[in-house]
Amino acid sequence: MPTYQKRILYVVLNWGLGHASRSIPVIKELTKQNCEVTLGSDGRAGILLQKEFPELEYLELPPYNIHYAGHFVWSMGTQLPKILLAIRKEKQFLNQLLLNRKFDVIISDNRYGCFHKSYTSIFLTHQLNIQLPFPGGSYFASKSVKRFIRNFDTCWVPDFPGDPNLAGKLAHGKNTENVIYIGSLSRIQYQEKEAIYDAVAVLSGPEPERSRLEKIMLKQMRDHAGNFALVKGITDNNSKILQISNVKIFPYLLSKDLNELMLSAKVIICRSGYSSLMDLAKLRKPAILIPTPGQTEQEYLAKRMLQQGIFYTQNQKGFDLKSALQKYHNFKGLDEERKDDGLLAKAIQNLILRKKL
């Protein structure tokens, strides 16, 4: 039997594919440093993790089942009782699991109930300061999130300390005690590659907005001269690769194939989710950002990228592919991600040496 440095339970929120995709480099680094990793999630995020790491044990966790409809704040507010119930259920699941299983560390990417006082518990998030349309709401939402995070021993933030950084005020500012910045997390690797697609659209995020953007994108790509590819971001097993007119459609792609496809694009079209920005930092390619309607975090990040002259942005409502393809050239993009000095590797090394107090 192999001797492992640490036994890790790594759990991921199923909210689009962003949390799962950004966790891939963390899981790879854990296994590289000889940790035994057990994965836990549900839905599409769980399927992606199983396909990326078929050799690792996987546990099906209680789902949050959040349905995104209308404005983000209203949608989340009306579903708050369901979210709190899901947190309670995952906490119960974890307690029951730990009666029969022993782990050294629990790492939770945005699953607030997955901590235990007898184990080193780490929370991974880029949102320490919630951005809402009204300041009072932002204050109280951020305070509530930090109260949850205090249940964990440490908060890992996938960003760089100081300036420049990717998350802006989402992850920087006051009250960042017990926070460790672990650098940008991306499963993407940069290399020079000839561009064969005029644009590659990579869709993600909760329904029904993901499907709505898919319809908009497919129609406008087919109506526009050029060579395009679209990754739908769904992990359903019955979905197949299709060629419709001038658009090649992929249901989803694992890391290596997605990397190759994105490198072969002149420009990337995607949501302005934080995981997407970390991927773009690796790619060093121009992008057209489309924030999920009403999702305040994405709207903030898209506006920040636009104001800094980094990426062109359009709203989903009234999206015009022709105009976007003409204007994205005027933005500088992220030429190369900031050197992270091995922040993730160092954080994991310190974790291995750490003992629960």
Q: Tell whether the model's pLDDT for residue 141 goes beyond 90.
A: no
Query: pTM here?
Result: 0.86
Q: Tell whether the model's pLDDT for residue 268 goes beyond 70.
A: yes
Per-residue model confidence (pLDDT) at position 280: 93
Q: Tell whether the model's pLDDT for residue 274 goes beyond 80.
A: yes
For 298-321, write each residue's pLDDT tens digit: 999 999 999 999 999 999 999 999
Distances (CA, A) of 32 to 5, 344, 357: 11, 12, 26
CB atoms within 10 A of CB 196: 13
Mean pLDDT for 215-236 is 93
**Residue 34 sits in the same domain as residue 124:** yes
Residue 2 lies in a domain: no
**Residue 56 sits in the same domain as residue 172:** yes
Q: Tell whether the model's pLDDT for residue 1 goes beyond 60.
A: no
Mean pLDDT for 161-170 is 88
Indicate the burial class of 307 (C-beta count within 10 angstroms; 0-12, 13-18, 19 or more).
Answer: exposed
For 344-357, write each residue's pLDDT tens digit: 999 999 999 876 53
List the domain range (segments joined by +) for residue 110. 7-186+339-353
User: Phi and psi dihedrals of 304, rounded to 5?
Assistant: -65, -45
As for how many domains the chain has, the answer is 2
**Residue 263 sits in the same domain as residue 300:** yes
Per-residue model confidence (pLDDT) at position 357: 38
For 27-61, write each residue's pLDDT tens digit: 999 999 999 999 999 998 999 999 999 999 999 99
For 166-189, write each residue's pLDDT tens digit: 999 999 877 666 899 999 999 888
CATH number at residue 53: 3.40.50.2000
Residue 322 lies in a domain: yes
Per-residue model confidence (pLDDT) at position 326: 97
Q: Tell whether the model's pLDDT for residue 84 goes beyond 90.
A: no
Q: What distance in Å separates the CA atoms of residue 346 and residue 341, rounded to the nearest whole number?
A: 9
